[in-house]
């Protein structure tokens, strides 16, 4: 009789106002790839933090390879052979890749020529990394590679992966899956958390589904569909985003004109002569592989990096190229950055304080220099209610929310300000199917009010779902936008890979009907 690699019994964890885990049982066998599914806030992250020793459960026990075990810290977990890739990266921006990896592994592994081992294992698994690069110069996709490589260096017997592919390219995902299947064949157990349900079907042997802190179902993914698993997670039918009948676009609301920016990061990507318009009532999607200038484009459009000429960025006839984020907000622009914590929201600040930070002017939350706290709290409460954000209250800190709920809050904060133009980067990164559908519907609905919506995303399925036109960014150059009815996934893939040379010379593309 083969003993389970990991067995959890009766795990319960309660926070003030929230029962995160309620009598959870879970069993993972050697060599098994086991999916843990649930909407944001279902209790998945709390459970795996208990397994990894980050948090303690109020009750319940863990058995490791047949023996009762207290996992009191991540160091204990790593010594047992448990490795974890976190959804929110545990990295220091001011340190190199090698330095970040060295502080996250046992001291014995950090000795010797660690840089060469990082290079070797990253090449072996198709996740290239330069050990000497500083983390602050890396894209989100490249940062994710650090977490994966750090775990693989430890030769784990149980590998916990929390949204490992959310910012990887399709090619990188295929290479990672090859690695995971190989590890499984060698007897390594894998606990895999992902909101990409087709991945679960393609990769995992068994799945446990959680809802509201409890296990509500188990299944074999090969016998299910993405929709059936999503509905088990939600406890309701999944409602896909609905688009209105295609209409002729309105007037131009955002113009990007001959935009060129030299990246301030040594390993960043320069933007080169970018030209496009976004019309009222339109969603323009920008596809691309991570690290091809998406972050630099977002920084240039949001005003975090002012450009040389005012006419490079025009919002409703206001030339704002040299203006900062506040002036661009005053001109009617809203932003949703890629990183939720630290960029989209201040982690330790309450939800109402985070709502105030971007809505102070547009929502009239200041009175003669003083914060209107009641009005700010009411605004935050409206966001929570309108966008179904799961939180005990708006006094709670941003970092107390799950990733998907914080993303919905940040989206709601921007959308309730009624922007004429909104720019979003990786809008549904790491969020569950229900939250992703709600966010995509909100973008479509905002365009329906006459706003110009620019969505920069690596998720091609998402872009085809929400966009009227799609362009591709590759090595800092943006191709001419084309109507979704006039371009195929294969054509976009070629542009993303730089095989077909993108051109930014033509401003307008014909709209399909």
For position 204, which CATH number holds?
Answer: 3.40.50.300
Task: Give yes or no for residue 158 having a pLDDT over 80.
Answer: yes
One domain, residues 77 and 132:
yes
Q: Are residues 31 and 118 in the same domain?
A: yes
H-assigned helices in 187-310: 197-203, 226-234, 294-302
Report if residue 152 sits inside a domain.
Answer: yes
Tell me: do 147 and 19 sit in the same domain.
yes
Q: How far apart are CA 414 and CA 7, in angstroms?
A: 43
Same domain, 187 and 119: yes
Exposure string of 294-322, with b = 16+ CB inside 10 Å and e = fewer, is: bbbbbbbbbbbbbbeeeebbbbbeebbbe
Tell me which residue has tokens 């009750």: 59
Please write the tens of the pLDDT for every residue from 440-474: 999 999 999 999 999 999 888 889 989 999 999 99
Q: Are 25 and 107 found together in one domain?
A: yes
57 and 25 in contact (C-beta within 8 Å)?
Answer: no
The total domain count for the chain is 3
Mean pLDDT across 103-114: 82
Task: Confirm whether 397 is domain-assigned.
Answer: yes
Q: Output the CA angle 257-263-264, nearest 5 degrees.
A: 135
Whether residue 339 lies inside any domain: the answer is no
**pLDDT confidence tier of residue 504, bands split at 50, 70 and 90:** very low
Same domain, 409 and 260: no
- Crossing angle (nearest 10°) for helices 403-415 and 373-386: 110
Measured CA to CA in angstroms, residue 99 lies from 19, 309, 371 at distances of 37, 39, 42
Nearest residue to 435 (alpha-carbon basis) of 166, 53, 169: 166
143 shares a domain with 24:
yes
Residue 510 has pLDDT above 60, yes or no: no
pLDDT at 503: 43
Say if 513 falls within a structural domain: yes
Min mean pLDDT across 40-44, 347-351, 421-425, 483-487 is at 40-44
Query: Stretch 34-51: mean pLDDT, rounded?
Result: 89
Average pLDDT of the residues of the chain: 88
pLDDT for residue 246: 65
- In the predicted structure, residue 423 carries a pLDDT above the cut 80: yes
Is the domain of 266 the same as that of 298? yes
Q: Residues 448, 302: one domain?
A: yes
Residues forming a β-bridge with 452: 421
Least confident interval from 48-57, 165-174, 261-270, 411-420: 165-174
Q: Is the pLDDT of residue 352 over 80?
A: yes
Contact 437, 236 (CB under 8 A): no
Q: Is residue 340 part of a domain?
A: no
> Given pLDDT bands bounded at 50, 70 and 90, which one contains residue 321?
very high
The closest of 439, 435, 437 to 425, measured between CA atoms, is 439
Give domain status of residue 117, yes or no: yes
* CA 180/CA 162 separation, integer angstroms: 14
Q: Which of 234, 260, 286 is the last residue of a domain?
A: 234
Task: Give the closest residue to 413 by CA, choosing from 346, 467, 465.
Answer: 346
Mean pLDDT lowest among 54-58, 110-114, 219-223, 382-386: 110-114
Q: Are residues 303 and 411 in the same domain?
A: no
* pLDDT of 171 strictly over 70: no
Same domain, 318 and 440: yes
**Per-residue pLDDT, 472:** 94
390 pLDDT above the threshold of 50: yes
- Answer yes or no: is pLDDT of 53 > 60: yes
- Where a domain ends, among 367, 395, 417? 417
Q: 245-263 as b/e, with b when 16 or more CB fall inside 10 Å? A: eeeebeebbbbbbebebeb
Tell me: the pLDDT tens digits for 90-100?
789 899 999 99
Residue 242 · residue 272 · CB < 8 Å: no
Mean pLDDT of 206-215: 93
Q: Which domain holds residue 41?
A: 6-234
Please indicate, yes or no, whether residues 244 and 262 belong to a single structural domain of this protein.
Answer: yes
Answer for the pair 414, 212: CB distance below 8 angstroms, yes or no: no
Say if 436 falls within a structural domain. Answer: yes
Q: Is the pLDDT of residue 507 over 50?
A: no
Mean pLDDT confidence for 22-33: 96
Mode of pairing for the β-strands spanning 469-474 and 482-483: antiparallel
Q: Which two tokens stand for residue 499?
A: 């095989």
Q: Does residue 1 belong to any structural domain of this protein?
A: no
**Predicted confidence band of residue 506 (pLDDT cuts 50, 70, 90):** very low
End position of a domain, from candidates 215, 234, 253? 234
């Amino acid at each position: 009789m083969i003993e389970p690699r990991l067995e959890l019994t009766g795990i319960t964890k309660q926070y003030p106002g929230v029962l995160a885990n309620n009598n959870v049982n879970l069993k993972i066998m050697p060599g098994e790839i086991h999916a843990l599914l649930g909407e944001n806030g279902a209790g998945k992250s709390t459970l795996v933090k208990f397994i990894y020793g980050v948090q303690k459960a109020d009750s319940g026990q863990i058995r490791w390879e047949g023996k009762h075990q207290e996992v009191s810290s991540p160091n204990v977990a790593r010594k047992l052979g448990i490795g974890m890739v976190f959804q929110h990266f545990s990295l220091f921006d001011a340190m190199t890749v090698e330095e970040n990896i060295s502080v996250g592994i046992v001291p014995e592994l950090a000795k010797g020529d660690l840089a060469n081992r990082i290079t070797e294992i990253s090449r072996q698994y198709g996740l290239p990394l330069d050990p000497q690069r500083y983390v602050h110069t890396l894209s989100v996709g490249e940062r994710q590679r650090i977490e994966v490589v750090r775990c693989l260096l430890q030769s784990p017997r149980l590998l916990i992966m929390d949204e490992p592919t959310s910012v990887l390219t399709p090619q990188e995902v295929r290479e990672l899956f090859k690695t995971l299947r190989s590890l499984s064949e060698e007897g390594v157990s894998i606990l895999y958390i992902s909101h990409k349900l087709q991945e679960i079907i393609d990769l995992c042997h068994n799945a446990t589904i959680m809802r509201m802190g409890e296990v509500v179902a188990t299944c074999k993914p090969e016998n299910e569909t993405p929709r059936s698993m999503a509905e088990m997670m939600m406890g309701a039918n999944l409602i896909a985003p609905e688009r209105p009948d295609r209409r002729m676009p309105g007037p131009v609301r955002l113009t990007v004109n001959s935009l060129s920016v030299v990246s301030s990061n040594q390993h960043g990507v320069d933007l080169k002569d970018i030209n496009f318009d976004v019309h009222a009532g339109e969603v323009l999607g920008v596809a691309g592989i991570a690290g091809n200038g998406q972050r630099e484009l977002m920084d240039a459009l949001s005003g975090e990096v002012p450009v040389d000429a005012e006419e490079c960025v025009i919002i409703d006839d206001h030339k704002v190229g040299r203006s900062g984020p506040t002036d661009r907000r005053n001109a009617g622009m809203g932003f949703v950055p890629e990183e939720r914590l630290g960029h989209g929201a201040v982690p330790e600040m309450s939800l109402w304080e985070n709502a105030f930070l971007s809505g102070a002017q547009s929502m009239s939350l200041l009175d003669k220099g003083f914060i209107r706290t009641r009005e700010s709290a009411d605004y935050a409460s409206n966001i929570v209610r309108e966008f179904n954000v799961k939180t005990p209250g708006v006094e709670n800190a941003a970092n107390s929310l799950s990733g998907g709920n914080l993303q919905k809050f940040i989206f709601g904060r921007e959308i309730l300000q009624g922007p004429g133009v909104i720019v979003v980067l990786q809008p549904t990164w790491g969020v569950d199917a229900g939250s992703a559908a709600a966010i995509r519907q909100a973008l479509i609905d905002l365009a329906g009010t006459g706003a110009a919506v620019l969505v920069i995303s690596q998720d091609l399925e998402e872009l085809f779902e929400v966009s009227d036109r799609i362009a591709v960014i590759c090595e800092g150059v943006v191709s001419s936008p084309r109507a979704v009815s006039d371009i195929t996934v294969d054509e976009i893939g070629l542009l993303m890979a730089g095989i077909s040379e993108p051109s930014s010379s033509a401003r307008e593309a014909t709209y399909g009907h």
